[in-house]
Amino acid sequence: MKSTILYEGRYQWIVFGRDPDKPDGIIDTNQYLVVDGKRSLLIDPGGIEIFSAMLAAVLRYTDIDHLTDLFASHQDPDIISSLGLWDQALPHAKLYAPWIWESFLRHFGLNHIEYHSIPDEGQVIRLESAELTFLPAHYLHSSGNFNVYDPVAKILMSGDIGAALEPDGAPMFVKDFDEHIPKMELFHQRWMPSNRAKQAWINRVRKLDIEYMAPQHGRIFSGENVQRFLDWFEQLEVGTGISED
């Protein structure tokens, strides 16, 4: 599992991905970890197939006792089907996830970890010095869905928004935005259901100071590519799976 440090200050942001041992036929995912002293938040921990690779990778940056908090942006298996295994590895941890998915996510096996429901309007949590906002991103694509925003690191972890479908081993950062568009187009048109939700999210996110927009699939946008993504997404028609006949 490859890891890259995204931010280094009083705490760290690390991205994990591009696992060469990932089984074929499952979508590649990016997992994020915020390490803040004796508290760490693992963001969208990933599918059951990558659990052992993720556990080993995370323990290079923090002790198991300091891995205290998990976050699931929504209910998809590529986000959190590993929950039952984390539940055994981290019996005292807390999971932050959308309130609407609690009775669904418990199917993954939640016997020890405490489920903390995020209300629809989102919330702010504090680790040691890091203050993180769970920002509403409902219907993009899941009907209960949050991003994670850090105003100090200027990172927006955008979940499936900004995702790209591309071959294994792709670079971690977008270099040429125009070249990247075809890799994102179908995903956003087909997986995102609502133009109205898209516009509400863009309006919310345009007010934020963002250096890195970090999705759960594909490459991370930095600097002016963040604004270019917002402009591109704004003009894109989504919800293309609807048939009128």
* CA distances for 166 relative to 94, 162, 219, angstroms: 33, 13, 9
CB of 54 to Fe ion, least distance (A): 15
Assign 178 to helix, strand or coil: helix
- Asked whether position 28 contacts Fe ion by CB under 5 A, the answer is no
The CB-nearest residue to Fe ion is 76
Residues 156-175 contacting Fe ion, CB under 5 A: 160
Query: CA-to-CA distance for 197 and 137, rounded, in angstroms?
Result: 8
- Asked whether position 76 contacts Fe ion by CB under 5 A, the answer is yes
Query: CA-to-CA distance for 245 and 241, rounded, in angstroms?
Result: 12
CB of 141 to Fe ion, least distance (A): 6
Length of the chain: 245
CB of 70 to Fe ion, least distance (A): 16
Query: CA-to-CA distance for 222 and 219, rounded, in angstroms?
Result: 10
Q: Which is nearer to Fe ion, 40 or 145 (CB)?
A: 145
121 within 8 A of 136, measured Cβ to Cβ? yes
Q: Which stretch binds Fe ion (CB under 5 A): 17-25, 90-98, 213-221, 236-244?
A: 213-221
Binding characters for Fe ion, 109-148, by CB under 5 A (x = yes): ----------------------------------------
Q: Which stretch binds Fe ion (CB under 5 A): 69-77, 97-105, 123-131, 167-175?
A: 69-77
- Asked whether position 44 contacts Fe ion by CB under 5 A, the answer is no
CB of 211 to Fe ion, least distance (A): 23
* Strand order from edge to edge, sheet including 31-36: 2-8, 12-17, 31-36, 39-43, 69-71, 94-98, 114-118
Q: Which is nearer to Fe ion, 76 or 150 (CB)?
A: 76
CB of 215 to Fe ion, least distance (A): 8
Q: Which is nearer to Fe ion, 137 or 174 (CB)?
A: 137
- Picking from 163, 157, 174, the residue whose alpha carbon sits closest to that of residue 31 is 157
